[in-house]
Amino acid sequence: MRAEIVRRCVKAIQAHGMDAMLTCSPENFAYLTGFVVPSQPLMRHRHAMALVAADGRTAILAVDMEATTIARREPATPTRIWAEFSDNAMAALAALLTETGLARARIGIEFDYLPAADFEKLRAALPAASFVPDQQILARLRQVKTREEIALLRRLSRIADQSITDALRAVRSGDTEMDLAGHLTRNVYALGAEQFKLMIVATGERSQLPNVGPTKRRLQPRDVCRVEIFSVISGYQAGVCRTAVVREAPPHAARIWKHLVDCKYRLLEQVKPGASCRAIYAAFIAKLAELDLPPISFVGHGIGLFLHEDPYLGKTPEIGGEGDALLEPGMVLGVEPLCYQTGHGFGMQLKDMLLVTERGGEMLSDYCSNDELIVVA
């Protein structure tokens, strides 16, 4: 287990009057252990859980199919293995909790991930225990990154940035979006990522579509090209977006792009400890309005084990929340001045990874500034 993360969880357990916390999701399992159980994100019934008790003891629940992976990565952590198709996973979890002295404990659990049917089985198997939601506690812990997490996100940011930039420089007018995606995919792996998520390749009129993958559409002169990718290592991800034009910019594109770049630097100036998330968002919307560009619901968000994490630089700092949130040193943000509907048949986006430091905002995606539109030959 990751010692610093375990210590943070122990403090949270004690502060919230719990006896232990369980992770159920692949993301929070990786938060505690530093790795993702390969098949858990693909099949939710293959439960892999990490347990932290108030006294710092830890344990793992895992399916037999992944027993060798767990043993290799966590040889010193007590582990209960349950047999897929033979055992009741929740009965195995109840046995693990009982062995750990938690049969009558107050236990935090991710209510937003564990299926309701499984939770009912767990309650039936452990009737003297009480369960409380811990997903928001874990989400708050993940907002401020450790040095290890920051180093990994810095590496991932540069992988994503270089992968996109080099791919855009490798293609030519007449190549397809699939050709561009091929270069991008090879680059991500060649630079050291384990995988990628949400590859967006949107050119020409398709650049107005927020989250679309590549097609056989051919790049044409004056196309605007939006390319985004999330590079992934150990479950952590960094998302970067770059915008290019084919041979030359279409009318209005250079003016709009300069405005979005100005937005980026205004945001960078405002990202500092104690800054209001809502105030940063309001400043961005005001700047966007100078060109009568339509507003968006947020201009940045936390990132790490989830594509989007709290806090949001938006109307509210979290989905469905109210009030405001203040930035803290160690937060990592995906900041993205963008406009999908420019009114001229194209959309434009600039997304970077920023670290909040004691001195202000530090750019992590620093391979290509993209202050000037990248030109595809």
Residue 151 reports pLDDT greater than 80: yes
pLDDT of the residue at 273: 98
Element (H, E) at 125: helix 116-125
Confidence of residue 318 (pLDDT cuts 50, 70, 90): confident
Question: Residue 232 pLDDT more than 80?
Answer: yes
Tokens 């709290």 label which residue?
Answer: 310
Q: Is 376 helix (H, G, I), strand (E, B) or coil?
A: strand
> What average pLDDT does this structure show over 299-310?
96
pLDDT, tens digit, for every residue of 359-377?
Answer: 999 999 999 999 999 999 9
Residue 320 predicted with pLDDT over 70: no
What is the tens place of the pLDDT at every residue in 14-70? 999 999 999 999 999 999 999 999 999 999 999 999 999 999 999 999 999 999 999
Helix (H) or strand (E) segment spanning residue 195: strand 195-203
DSSP assignment, residue 249? P
pLDDT at 317 (0 to 100):
83
Of 114, 105, 94, give the one whose Cα is nearest residue 55. 105
User: What mean pLDDT is predicted for residues 149-172?
Assistant: 98
The share of the chain scoring above pLDDT 70, in percent, equals: 99
Q: Work out the percent of the chain whose per-residue pLDDT is above 90.
A: 97
User: Strand, helix or coil at 240?
Assistant: strand
**Per-residue buried b or exposed e for 136-175, using 16+ beta carbons within 10 Å of the residue's own CB:** ebbbebbbbbeeebbebbbbbbbbbbbbbbbbbebbeeeb
Contact between 168 and 367 (Cβ < 8 Å) = no
Query: How large is the C-alpha radius of gyration of the chain?
Result: 23
* Residue 146: both structure tokens together: 């450790």
* pLDDT at 211 > cutoff 80: yes
pLDDT tens figures, 250-294? 999 999 999 999 999 999 999 999 999 999 999 999 999 999 999
Q: Angle between the 277-289 and 253-270 helix axes, to the nearest 10 degrees?
A: 160
Closest CA to 102 of 135, 76, 81, 125: 125
pLDDT band at 315 (very low <50, low <70, confident <90, very high): confident
Q: What would the 3-class secondary structure string for 35-100 be? A: CCCCCCCCCCCCCCEEEEECCCCEEEEEEHHHHHHHHHHCCCCCEEEECCCCCCHHHHHHHHHHHC
